[in-house]
Structure 1
């Protein structure tokens, strides 16, 4: 006689399930989901439904509306909290197991069953009074910590997120595939243009050879025959860029073979996506520590960072363009490493980097996962993708750490960097100057505003009063308007607080801008031209009066609210 485990071999396991069950939700639990297309502005943006089961071949939930009896599938839903989080100031109480009853229920299959019209009244099935428990009977939780580092919810580090994003939160239009901190550091060069230029072709061919040899050295993929029909082969492209220094001069040619990750299918080629992005606030706090407490700054860059992460799914990609193997032109690569462009590459690289830093004695902070510290907090490391900024009062500690990390990864490091994350850094005695003048110059060139006349204020009062006027609301190119707003907003939040008020007002009209909004935007660009060299200065502050600066960026009162910031 066979045991049930033998009979259900490869179908079910009585010891440990093969499928990850961490994302399961209880049957019938209340779930809040978003209403994607509300009929009016005053209608609620969400509704409460009941969870039934998971949709087949998807991570979406089948949800039941008890009022209408309809069933819908949603990937953007939040289950209600069964047990609210207990206060941190009180010990967690757990009822003794003797007060609990074990009840076995046999529930028939839900397939081909009629939809429930209304919710059953379950009030009388549960006792209304829970018996009290003496303090001696309380069983402390094994996972409860004795000490809590309070972190506000809005400053908590981001967790691994799903790539299922509501379509309502996506702005349609062209988008440049460039990291925000590389806006002024790199110029993308089309592949055809690079090879057609006789003066640059040799240099581009050299860096492409280096990139291809690096892919082979890291054992990025295995050459296999073209897979059968159900499998999908993803293409790739050369991403060629000019790297510029703090003076805007080209000092390096860079080539990357990038997978077209937008062709990947969720739950087939990837499961989760997550990018390790360093917080701007953390980096600025570290700059302040350098100036006020004489910390020593170092910068390093990790070469071919993503190629250190291992793929967690089966992905086939085409061979590198221009380097196809003779006689096997139709063969493809089965990826072993997280090649640039794949959706899971940033997450796989972050997991690999975290393990390496942990082996060197560094752990991530609770408020920012991109900040790593050693046990005595004497060494601070800020990581943004493959760029690192490290500070300490002991230069020997920094050099020892960089030497140990260089034995695991290939690094390039520099003391007192002049550029980092899009900032131009000027180090002086007891003072640090940061600005983004090169990014402003690039923005002016992009919109043909280099020859414009500078103005003294970022906004014109007359233009702001006309922003809500219907007579001047002639449509303009939405994509260009949004590109300018996005770049200026990036500058304002990093180094130019004097234009925050103006850019916040213009951002209100990003969806449907008119001619008056475009005129106000050009006025702001003219102001940036005349003030492109304005900067933020970090000075040593007195402990008696640490806060000595403020800014009133409201240059013209708004007619609709008459408020000033």
Structure 2
């Protein structure tokens, strides 16, 4: 399972076609936990297993932290009082692959289930940020290219001040010699106590508000502060894990320093994992936008488009592809533009050769069904010749989505017939009495659709403006005929072709060196 938050989506055009690639600014993937069987169940297992030295070291670290924080005093258990039991909980945390080794953590936990409501505790609250808030922050970070770092509070619950007298048995393996009958009078909250989360949150909330952070009214574990320059610093709290985001790393370092003065913190650097989810950052999208801002993409495509319109029908498909991304081009699009420019440089002698035959106006039309992978629209391509030389051509996306290859070809025929009618009118005014124009198409089913009025149920969803071609054909103004795909030069308008087929298409429309 994965959750993606993207600051921008860029389509990539290849030299042989186009396909879509999502440039992801942030991705969250559920991380796999280490096999629980590798973790000791209790103190006895920890000191007798293969990794006993590492677990023992982890327990000693925990005890040092507890003593440093002055978590308890050793006292005699008062009469009428009952001591809460405790236990060791062991966790082997997976490190970042290839970066850090697994961490062995031991946590002393009070058995809070034996606490009595109203006597040992009165309120319970756990500082847990909503998952939606985490995703919202990632969206903001990606949108504004903020820095995102992570902190971990060492023994977070030990920072909470207890308001009740809680007595606890001494931890197994660390019973003080000659004070075996003493118990721990807890001065600070401890993991496992019912009130620990609440006490920790009260302490943390008090600290944050004293440093000019505001608590969100929509999520009490989201804090934010507005700087004098208008920028924001954001902090999300999930028990003892924190995410801090800001535009400037200096702001993050400042917050970290303030937190470290108050609590014992572990700086985890750039955010990598929270709540068992890996956070993967890919800044290619932002870097690409910066790079493309210095590239003359629009100017180059405009020049290519002018060359294509004037005398280079062989550029139609490629220019149609790169022109779709004028508003938000990427590096891959720029590479394609450079490929087209190199092709032009190598074919500077290519030109249109008129008067090769005595043929009248002949049209060729083709369609590439759902060729645009971004919006699943089909591509229309047509070329008209007179005397065997191209005089009109076009490669363009269809305005509506076709539901089948036949529909795509049918709509392409309509566009080609509109151009044929215009050409007939033009030549008529120029005193050229041409024969009925013929439009060749390589789709027999689409040709059949233009002639048959009985396909209402299959074509009623097609925009009415495409159906006028039936009247034109019925009147005999235009003839639509079948042609082999291999002999259809409009094929080069709708897709990339092998070099041999491409050169053959150019020859059919009079484009030669």
TM-score (norm 2): 0.46
Larger radius of gyration, structure 1 or 2? 2
* Larger relative helix fraction: 2
Tell me which of the two structures has the higher relative contact order, counting C-alpha pairs closer than 8 angstroms and 6 or more residues apart: 2
